[in-house]
Structure formats: structure tokens, C-alpha cells
């Protein structure tokens, strides 16, 4: 049996790849998990629901605001200090064999505590451009798993630890009750901009079926008015729908792109350009370069442009599904180091 401490939350984009790794590890060996969730965020809710067997500890912490001299950061830094003491207490008691971290501020807190206690650290970066937590933790990690070859350019000092694996995707046995539709997703929190745009597109494309994750009950009600749209506030498990989709329209969060690639679904990517260091734009351009999508910059979107692009991606047709889930490679690498 191995004991794993894990963190990577705040958004679905950090959480789902982490769960994919833990679920794959558990298929190979007996695993006991201590999960550090961010209080009040998606990880707390999803992990308690899907993995009641994990020991889940909620940590009250928020990331630092930019610019770093923001006045609220004084209070946030204090909270990070308190959180670090709490995390260390749990790590000393649980005595994990390793920690797995997939980014976000909670990873930073858990990673630095694990480093002080000499616990082996494994990190995964989902995006082309690594986030602050992964940049800092790479120096202490045993292995740094990345989704894209291009990420090496941003972590030059740690080349020997980097393994390009792709971004893990959660598996599901479930199947959506529909088929041959275009899947429309914001990020894990929905996207107002995509909702507003698609509301203008739907009446023009009555022959095309859409499944749209809206992010709010109000939008679900509004978009359900279109007979060609199945509007859902949140799709869970989303893999059930990716399997049956012919194309997608989405933001360019790393997990959404990973799912397009894993299930072989071509899509239109509208990156959220206010993301830190425009990392969604970099993700989107990389996905386009690899043949998975058409990128439309947010300022250039219009219902007409979307209609023309949907036609192109649907005509492109499905791409071959990936044979191996990146979560398998990561699990093998971790077990190879630990066992």
C-alpha cells in the first residue's frame, strides 16, 4: 500500500487531471489518499462526492493578487503562513510516501510543506505556459510531468526531471443519451461570453444539434428555448458527452483541450485572454498547431464567424482517439520511482 498526499485545486482545470492520476494509481496499487482541498472551491465539493474514501482536509487559502504589492496580499500571505502550519501538521501525522501536485496556490502551500519534511514531490503542469506554483516547485520535485513539449522552454533548468506525458483525462464508463452533437463548454465555471455568443448562433443553425454547459440555471432556462439545444447547467461526467460529440466550441483551458485530444474531437477555441500570462491563448495556439482546432480571438468573434467555423470543424470530422491516457504514463513513472 502507498500513501499519497495530493493537492491541485481552485478550478476544475487543476482538479480533474489530479483525480485522473489518483484514480489510475488506485487501479494499479492499493492507495490511501490525503487530499488537500481549497475551502469553498470545486475541489472540496467534487472530491467529497466522488471519493468519500479519501481523507479530505479543507484549507482556507487564496492565491496572491497581481500585482504582488496589492494591499490585500498582506492578509493573504498571513493566511498562507497559517495554512502551511496546518498542512505540515497533517503531513506529519499521515506520513505520505509521496505528494502529487497539479498546480494552483494550494499546490504551492502543500509542496513547500512537503519539501521541508523531505517527502518526494511529483508535479504536473497542464498548460503550455507553467503557472507560478509549478515553476517554484519544479526545483524540489523528483519529476515534472508536462502536457506539451513546448513547456520545456519555460522550465529550462529542470530539463532532466521533465517527462512529456500529455494531460490526464478522467475516464468514465457512462455514455450520453444523445449523439452527433456539437459540445459547447465554458471552463469549469461556465462562460458568459460564450453563452451570449451562442444564443445568437442557435437560431441560425437549426439543423445542428448542440449540448451546451451553461454554468448557471438562468442560462440553462434561456438556452433551453431552442429546440436544437440541450442546455445543462453542469455536465458530469463530461467524458460521457465527449465520446459522442462530433465537434466542440470552448474556452482553451488545459483540461478541455486535453479532452478534445483524448477523445479526438476537433473544435473551435475561444481563449479567455485575461488568463494569467495569456496562457489560454498559448494552449489554444498549440492545439491548433497539433491539428485539433480553429482559434478565434475573443475580440474577433461574431455569430457569422462561428457559423462558418462550425461548418469547417464538423467537415474535418473526428480525429483518432488517443490510445493511452496520459494518466497511465504518469502512474508508471511515479510507481517506478517509489516502489
Binding residues for UDP-N-acetyl-alpha-D-glucosamine: 11-13, 127, 170, 188, 235, 280
By CB under 6 A, name the one of 2, 16, 108, 328 that touches ligand UD1. 16
Q: How far is the CB of 131 from ligand UD1 (least distance, A)?
A: 6
213 lies in the site for ligand UD1, by CB under 6 A? yes
Q: How many residues bind ligand UD1 (CB under 6 A)?
A: 25
Per-residue contact flags (x/-) with ligand UD1 for residues 269 to 298, judged by CB under 6 A: ------x---xx--x---------------
By CB under 6 A, name the one of 24, 107, 151, 188 that touches ligand UD1. 188
Q: Which is nearer to ligand UD1, 121 or 194 (CB)?
A: 194
Which range touches ligand UD1 (CB under 6 A), out of 74-82, 181-189, 193-201, 294-302?
181-189
254 lies in the site for ligand UD1, by CB under 6 A? yes
Return the HEC string of the chain.
CEEEEEECCCCHHHHHHHHHHHHHHHHHCCEEEEEEEECCCHHHHHHHHHCCCCEEEEECCCCCCCCCCCCCHHHHHHHHHHHHHHHHHHHHHHCCCEEEECCCHHHHHHHHHHHHCCCCEEEEECCCCCCHHHHHHCCCCCEEEECCHHHHHHCHHHHHHEEECCCCCCCCCCCCCCCCEEEEECECCECHHHHHHHHHHHHHCCCCCEEEECCCHHHHHHHCCCCCEEEECCCCCCHHHHCCEEEEEECCCHHHHHHHHHHCCCEEECCCCCCHHHHHHHHHHHHHHCCCEEECCHHHCCHHHHHHHHHHHHHHCCCCCCCCCHHHHHHHHHHHHHC
Q: How far is the CB of 253 from ligand UD1 (least distance, A)?
A: 2
Q: Segment 93-112, which members bind ligand UD1 (CB under 6 A)?
A: 103
Residues lying near ligand UD1 in the complex (CB under 6 A) are found at 11-14, 16, 103, 126-127, 185, 187-188, 213, 234-236, 238, 253-256, 259, 275, 279-280, 283
Amino acid at each position: 500500500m502507498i500513501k499519497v498526499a495530493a493537492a491541485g485545486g481552485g478550478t476544475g482545470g487543476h482538479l480533474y487531471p489530479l483525480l485522473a492520476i489518483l484514480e489510475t494509481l488506485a487501479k494499479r496499487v492499493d492507495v490511501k489518499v490525503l487530499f488537500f482541498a481549497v475551502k469553498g472551491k470545486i475541489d472540496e465539493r467534487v472530491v467529497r462526492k466522488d471519493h468519500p474514501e479519501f481523507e479530505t482536509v479543507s484549507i482556507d487559502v487564496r492565491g496572491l493578487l497581481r500585482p504582488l504589492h496589492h494591499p490585500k496580499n498582506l492578509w493573504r500571505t498571513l493566511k498562507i503562513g497559517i495554512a502551511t502550519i496546518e498542512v505540515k501538521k497533517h503531513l506529519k501525522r499521515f506520513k505520505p510516501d509521496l505528494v502529487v501536485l497539479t498546480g494552483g496556490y494550494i499546490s504551492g502551500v502543500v509542496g513547500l510543506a512537503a519539501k521541508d519534511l523531505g517527502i518526494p514531490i511529483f508535479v504536473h503542469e497542464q498548460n503550455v505556459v507553467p503557472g507560478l506554483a509549478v515553476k517554484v516547485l519544479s526545483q524540489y520535485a523528483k519529476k515534472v510531468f508536462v502536457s506539451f513539449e513546448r513547456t520545456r522552454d519555460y522550465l529550462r533548468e529542470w530539463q532532466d526531471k521533465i517527462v512529456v506525458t500529455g494531460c490526464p483525462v478522467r475516464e468514465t464508463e457512462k455514455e450520453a443519451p444523445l449523439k452527433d452533437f456539437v459540445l459547447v463548454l465554458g471552463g469549469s465555471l461556465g462562460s458568459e461570453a460564450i453563452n451570449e455568443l451562442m444564443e445568437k448562433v442557435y437560431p441560425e443553425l437549426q439543423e445542428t444539434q448542440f449540448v451546451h454547459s451553461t454554468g448557471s440555471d438562468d442560462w440553462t432556462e434561456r438556452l433551453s428555448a431552442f429546440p436544437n439545444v440541450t442546455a445543462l447547467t453542469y455536465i458530469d461526467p463530461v467524458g460521457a458527452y465527449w465520446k459522442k460529440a462530433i465537434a466542440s466550441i470552448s474556452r482553451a483551458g488545459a483540461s478541455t483541450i486535453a479532452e478534445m485530444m483524448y477523445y479526438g474531437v476537433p473544435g473551435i477555441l475561444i481563449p479567455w485572454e485575461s488568463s494569467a500570462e495569456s496562457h489560454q491563448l498559448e494552449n489554444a495556439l498549440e492545439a491548433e498547431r497539433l491539428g485539433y482546432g480553429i482559434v478565434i480571438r475573443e475580440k474577433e468573434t461574431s455569430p457569422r464567424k462561428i457559423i462558418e467555423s462550425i461548418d469547417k470543424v464538423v467537415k474535418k470530422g473526428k480525429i483518432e482517439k488517443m490510445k493511452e491516457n496520459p494518466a497511465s504514463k504518469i502512474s508508471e513513472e511515479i510507481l517506478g520511482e517509489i516502489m
